[in-house]
Every structure is written in structure tokens, then in C-alpha cells.
Amino acid sequence: MSELTDARILAIESSCDETAAAVIENGRHLLSSVVASQMEIHARYGGVYPEVASRQHVLSIGPVVEQALTQAHLSLAEVDAIAVTRGPGLAGSLVVGLNAAKGLAIGAGKPLIGVNHLEGHIYSSWVYADSGHKSDIPAAPQFPLLALLVSGGHTELNLMTGHLTYRRLGATLDDAAGEAFDKTARLLGLPYPGGPSVQSAAETGNPFAFRFPRARTDGAWDFSFSGIKTAVLREVRRMQANGVAIPVADMAASFQAAIVDTLLAKTLAAAREFGVSEILVAGGVSANKALRAAFMNQAEFKVNIPKFAFCTDNAAMIASAGYFRYTQGDRSALDMDVMPTWPLSS
């Protein structure tokens, strides 16, 4: 057992289509991170096939956990607690990770900590991999901060005044940002997963070719992306009716620009309004190069964006969030159930 602040957390993540395990020390220092992706399997279906995802987790979970411990040069006895994603996500996928975590906790006599996947995404900004130089350790995010969460199923703005506290200022009224990327990719005939394929198509496109709407939800901190998606659909239909070839790169670039502008403008406005000095961007869409560039190119606020590897689903982020819960004395019972729907705050 280590000192509380040096605690080592073994975490498991299986909320969607990645089976992941990681070990983290002191909430930030990554000792190992293993992700077994099912992307190629689901690409055949054009999206995540829940039944296939849970069966795949069953195959991967044991080897992935074993590999995470091996890479960290630790035995199960040497970790202090087991953290696991409890939700939100696909029930059949969550169950596999949760039961594996319970087995490890019972077998090794370690505390079990259920973690919200969205909280995990936020904590990915605390994670760093050791370069061997102390001077390379990035500064931890400082409170109060404004967290923009942009994933496949969620888009929301949360004000954090301290660890593990969230005040939701606004959220999407319709599609999540990642969902808009995925749906638009399908409309443009681009392959699954949609986000990365829209991004690469956009690289050779002109972001000013089409002026897609920047939805303004005035007076509120909510977002709306269905208008942008509908505008793309209308344009595609119009061109198809006229027998015009669809300029996929220009449409992808113009769509991406509309999403990025909307996310940046609202986040900056909220950051000013609530007087924070730092912004945090998290979730799968934070892997988007145009979004990262837009946030990094403004000088008003310090921006925390996770390293690319920790933007999409992984267990390092669950280990970090699990660490802060562990040090606050949070423990889950062995009869803990999964929570397929679980808001971060209400």
C-alpha cells in the first residue's frame, strides 16, 4: 500500500467499443495504458453494434488488464484501488468491465470505485506520461475552470470550482457534436468513424466554400447542431437533384468550421461571463485538429486539452478521476449496478 497521495489506481473502461485498462499514480502520473479497439469490427456495420461490442469486451478484458499491470511493472497486490466506468454507455458493454473490476476487487481485497465516464473525460487533462524529466511535467488544470465536454453522446459546458464538482451551464438541445460529425460523414459518404474521416476530408477543402449556420441559442449556454447537419443535407440533396458532383472536401471543411466556430464562441463567452481563467476541452471531438487549433490560437484563456491519445475513450482518464474519488474517501459497494444514463450534474 502506498501513501494516500501516492496511491496507485488500476482502472477499467468498457463503456462503448474500446476495452481499456490503465494504472496511474498520484492521479496524474501514467504507469501504463492499454486500449483494445474494436473499430475495424464495427466499421463493417457503419457504427457500434452493441451485442458485438459486449462479446468483444469479454474476449479482451482479461488480457488487457493483465497487460496494463505488466507494463506498469506491478502486481495486483501493489495497486491501492480498482476504478471502473459505471456509466453512461452501453449496458452490455459496461457490465463486462464492472464485473471484471468487482472480481479483481474481491480477489485482491481492494476498494472498488465506480466512475462516471464523462468525469473521466474531464480528468484526461490531469494525465501525463513520464518523459524522464521533472521539468516536463505539465501544470495541472487550475480552478475555477470552464469544461467543454464534446463526445459522441454528450456536448455540455460545466463550471468547476474544485475537484469533482460540476455546475452544468448548458448542453446540446439536439445532437452531440460527435454525433453531428458522425451523421455528416454518413451524408457525405465518408467511412466510420465519422469524426476522423470528416477531419481528413476537410484537410484539402475550403472552409469558406459553404456558409453553414452557426446556431445562436441566445441568453443560454446551450448548443444546437441539428441545423448545421440539416443544411449539409439540403445542400447534398440540391446537388444530387442537379446532377452535380458533391464537393466532399469543401463540404467537410465548411461543416467542421461551423462546428468549431460555434463551440469556440460559446465557450469563450461563458468563460468571460463566469470569470474563469482556464478552459478545459475534453471528449472524443477534442481530438479534432481544427478544434484544437482554434482553442490554442486564442490568447485570452489558458486551455487544457488532453494529449491526442487521451481524447478518445481510454482507462487512464478513469484512473485519474478514480484517484481523486479515492482520496476523497469515495468507495462503491460490491452490488453496484451499471448506469447506462448518468448525467454528470443536473
Residue 287 interaction partner, one of Zn ion, ligand KG4, none, beta carbon < 5-8 Å per kind: ligand KG4
The reply to whether 194 sits near ligand KG4 by the rule CB under 6 A is yes
User: Among 33, 199, 262, 332, which residue sits at the site for ligand KG4 (rule: CB under 6 A)?
Assistant: 199
The reply to whether 178 sits near ligand KG4 by the rule CB under 6 A is yes
**Residue 8 or 223 with smaller CB distance to ligand KG4:** 223
| Contacts to ligand KG4 from residues 268-287, by CB under 6 A | 283-285, 287
**Residue 29 or 121 with smaller CB distance to Zn ion:** 121
**Residue 179 or 235 with smaller CB distance to Zn ion:** 179
* Residue among 181, 220, 176 at smallest CA distance from 202: 181
The reply to whether 182 sits near ligand KG4 by the rule CB under 6 A is yes
Residue 114 interaction partner, one of Zn ion, ligand KG4, none, beta carbon < 5-8 Å per kind: none
The reply to whether 313 sits near Zn ion by the rule CB under 5 A is yes
Minimum distance, C-beta of residue 51 to ligand KG4, in the bound complex (Å): 18
User: Among 312, 322, 324, 338, which residue sits at the site for ligand KG4 (rule: CB under 6 A)?
Assistant: 312
Q: Which residues make beta-bridge pairs with 113?
A: 83
The reply to whether 151 sits near Zn ion by the rule CB under 5 A is yes
Backbone phi and psi for residue 215, each to the nearest 5 degrees, phi listed first: -65, 130
- Rounded Cα distance between 4 and 35, Å, is 27
The reply to whether 80 sits near Zn ion by the rule CB under 5 A is no
CA dihedral 316, 322, 324, 326 (to 10 degrees): -140
| Contacts to ligand KG4 from residues 124-153, by CB under 6 A | 151-153
Instruction: Find the DSSP H helices in 164-300.
Output: 177-187, 194-202, 226-241, 248-273, 289-296
Minimum distance, C-beta of residue 156 to Zn ion, in the bound complex (Å): 13
Residue 288 interaction partner, one of Zn ion, ligand KG4, none, beta carbon < 5-8 Å per kind: ligand KG4
Instruction: Find the DSSP H helices in the chain.
Output: 39-43, 50-71, 91-108, 117-123, 177-187, 194-202, 226-241, 248-273, 289-296, 316-327
Tell me, residue by residue from 6 to 45, as one string, x for binding to ligand KG4 by CB under 6 A and - for no binding: ----------x-----------------------------
The reply to whether 196 sits near ligand KG4 by the rule CB under 6 A is yes
Residue 196 interaction partner, one of ligand KG4, Zn ion, none, beta carbon < 5-8 Å per kind: ligand KG4
**In residues, how long is the chain?**
346
Q: How far is CA 161 from the centre of its chain?
A: 21
Q: Name the grid cell of 246.
A: 458533391
Residue 278 interaction partner, one of ligand KG4, Zn ion, none, beta carbon < 5-8 Å per kind: none
One-letter identity of residue 250: D
Minimum distance, C-beta of residue 90 to Zn ion, in the bound complex (Å): 11
One-letter identity of residue 294: A
- Rounded Cα distance between 315 and 33, Å, is 7
111 burial (CB, 10 Å; 0-12 / 13-18 / 19+) is: middle
The reply to whether 87 sits near ligand KG4 by the rule CB under 6 A is no
CA angle centred on 320, ends 177 and 132, rounded to 5°: 110
Residue 199 interaction partner, one of Zn ion, ligand KG4, none, beta carbon < 5-8 Å per kind: ligand KG4
Yes or no: say if 181 and 189 are a contact pair by the CB < 8 Å rule. no
User: Among 32, 124, 125, 288, which residue sits at the site for ligand KG4 (rule: CB under 6 A)?
Assistant: 288
325 burial (CB, 10 Å; 0-12 / 13-18 / 19+) is: buried
CB atoms within 10 A of CB 148: 28
* Residue among 114, 139, 157 at smallest CA distance from 262: 157
**Residue 35 or 215 with smaller CB distance to ligand KG4:** 35
Residues that bind ligand KG4 (CB under 6 A): 16, 121, 151-153, 178, 181-182, 193-196, 199, 283-285, 287-288, 312-313
Kindly list the residues in this chain that would bind Zn ion in the complex (CB under 5 A).
151, 313
